[in-house]
Amino acid sequence: MLKVLEIMREFGSGWVFLTYLLVIPAVAVYKRYLAPKRTIDERFKSDIVTWLVYTSFDKRYSGRLESVLYEDISTLAEHTYEMSPLLKNLRTKSI
């Protein structure tokens, strides 16, 4: 989660969401980059911030938390922990 907050700061995003909103990108960062000890690329960082902003606008985690978390974790696992496929799960497509 600290790595996700660090990435957000790089993009000038100092705002903090609901705590559980950071779970999804934290899992992706760990599985895709930290566990195999790879460097996080700029595209992935941008996808994280985009997903966090769009998810906030969608209020995705304000209702059925468990089912939404399950859907997003499943999507991550199916797509080798890339963030961009998660954008398809959102109603908000641009701001």
From first to last of its 95 residues, what are the pLDDT tens digits of the chain?
788 878 888 887 666 556 677 888 999 999 999 999 999 999 999 999 899 889 888 888 887 888 999 999 999 999 999 999 999 999 888 87
The count of other CB atoms within 10 Å of the CB of residue 38 is: 9
Q: Give the model's pLDDT for residue 13.
A: 65
The count of other CB atoms within 10 Å of the CB of residue 13 is: 15
Domain span including residue 32: 2-89
With respect to residue 34, please indicate whether it lies within any of the assigned structural domains.
Answer: yes
Q: Give the model's pLDDT for residue 64.
A: 82
Report the half-sphere exposure of 39 (CA within 13 A, side-chain side). Answer: 2
Q: How far apart are CA 72 and CA 81, in angstroms?
A: 10
**Cα 6 versus chain centre, distance:** 13
With respect to residue 41, please indicate whether it lies within any of the assigned structural domains.
Answer: yes
With respect to residue 95, please indicate whether it lies within any of the assigned structural domains.
Answer: no
Q: How many domains does the chain have?
A: 1
